[in-house]
Amino acid sequence: MTSTKGNFELLCLENPLLDIQGVGDEKLLEKYELKANDAILAEEKHMGLYEDLIQNHDAKLIAGGAAQNTARGAQYILPADSVVYIGCIGKDQYGQTLRDICAKAGVRTEYRIDEEQPTGRCGVVITGHNRSLCTDLAAANCYKLDHLKSPEIWKLAENAKVFYVGGFHLTVCVPAILALAEEAAAKNKLFIMNLSAPFIPQFFKDQLDQVAPYWDILIGNETEALAYAESHNLGTTDIKEIATAIAKLPKKNTQTPRKVIITQGLEDTIAVVAKPDGSVEIKEVPVHAIEKEKINDTNGAGDAFAGGFVAGIVQGKPLETAIDMGQWLARLSIQELGPSFPYPVQTYTSS
């Protein structure tokens, strides 16, 4: 047991959401025109989903928001007071619930409170090992650069050593992402982003490309990598080639070589590390599968991977170890309800 405390080395930014998670079926997916395994922004036709899940599918209210899950995951591993999370919530009970869950997980939250919009919600439809995410951002869409730049919050950014921003935030406040990215590049800190969902490279390509030069580490999964390749006309569906192309994109901070990490479900995780001479090193890290019967649901598995991985990076672990820590935490999370982690806290041991 370590008694040393952290110093809020890790600062995460994104969309705080409450997940409304229920078990559904083909009919429910069809009713709202949802794919079994996807993440989308809600349109008018989806607005009935949340009440439907609560009334007819025994839905549970759990903390969500991809990077908020990652923040809780990283704090699960790191010493107390290591993680700050920033985003925008409403003045309501759902917002209070998020605050309470993060406080219990030891994550310091610095929310902007929107006076008009309610806290954002994500409808989660579980069918087997798939999960369909449908997000009504509401207050989460009202994050403002002014909040980040207010003296007491910006002090936290200046103090942090590693930044983690969910790609989902590219739909919300690019100036805030760029402010953190510039801070990282100027002071040789680490700026980590996640591709988050196929619709980000598909429909938010310009925003993505604006922040790409700042990526020290980019995390994604295989479907997001394929969506990236398609929207950028890379002309390949080979994950290693796609990761290599991303690793070789121009980089603002030339002191740190870029690393691109692509998870592929049960297949090996691909890590591509750029070298100063322009070449790359490709690593493949195996996943240690658990028995299917032990899986509760896969909502938040990718966020948990990112949490374990980023914790490893904050601790200065070798890349393969950080990836293994991500796999370990994802394995723990899929055995829980939604994006949660088991208590009492378990300690990472290499697998």
What residues are labeled active site?
303
Rounded Cα–Cα distance for residues 208 and 204 (Å): 6
Q: Is 183 in the site for ligand 26A (CB under 6 A)?
A: no
Q: How many CB atoms lie within 10 A of CB 255?
A: 9
171 lies in the binding site for ligand 26A (CB under 6 A)? yes
d(CA 103, CA 226): 37
Q: CB 155 → ligand 26A: shortest distance, Å? A: 25
Q: Which is nearer to ligand 26A, 124 or 323 (CB)?
A: 124
- Residue 123 as a binder of ligand 26A (CB under 6 A): the answer is no
Binding mask 1-40 for ligand 26A (x = CB under 6 A): -------------xx-x-x-------------------x-
Choice from 20, 49, 69, 118 touching ligand 26A (CB under 6 A): 69
CA–CA separation, 16 and 100 (whole Å): 13
Residue bearing tokens 């025994």: 58
> What's the burial of 178, exposed, middle or buried (CB within 10 Å: 0-12/13-18/19+)?
middle
Q: Which residues partner with 134 through β-bridges?
A: 40, 123
201 part of the interface to ligand 26A, by CB under 6 A: no
Among 117, 119, 132, 135, binds ligand 26A (CB under 6 A): 135
Q: Which of residues 228-247 bind ligand 26A (CB under 6 A)?
A: none
CA distance 172 to 141: 5
Per DSSP, 318 falls in state -
Residue from the set 24, 64, 106, 307 that interacts with ligand 26A by CB under 6 A? 64
Minimum Å distance from CB 276 to ligand 26A?
34
Closer CB to ligand 26A, 168 or 228, in the complex: 168
The separation between CA 195 and the C-alpha centre of its own chain, rounded to angstroms, equals: 8
Among 88, 137, 165, 208, binds ligand 26A (CB under 6 A): 137
Say how far apart CA 197 and CA 175 lie, in whole Å: 20
The CB density around residue 276, as the number of other CB atoms within 10 Å, is 8
Closest C-alpha to 76, from 258, 336, 351: 336
Cα 235 from Cα 282, distance rounded (Å):
20
Q: Could you say whether residue 224 binds ligand 26A (CB under 6 A)?
A: no
Minimum distance from CB of 40 to ligand 26A (Å)? 7
Using Cβ positions, the residue closest to ligand 26A within the complex turns out to be 64
The residues binding ligand 26A (CB under 6 A) are: 14-15, 17, 19, 39, 41, 64-66, 69, 122, 133, 135, 137, 166, 168, 171, 299-300, 302-303, 339
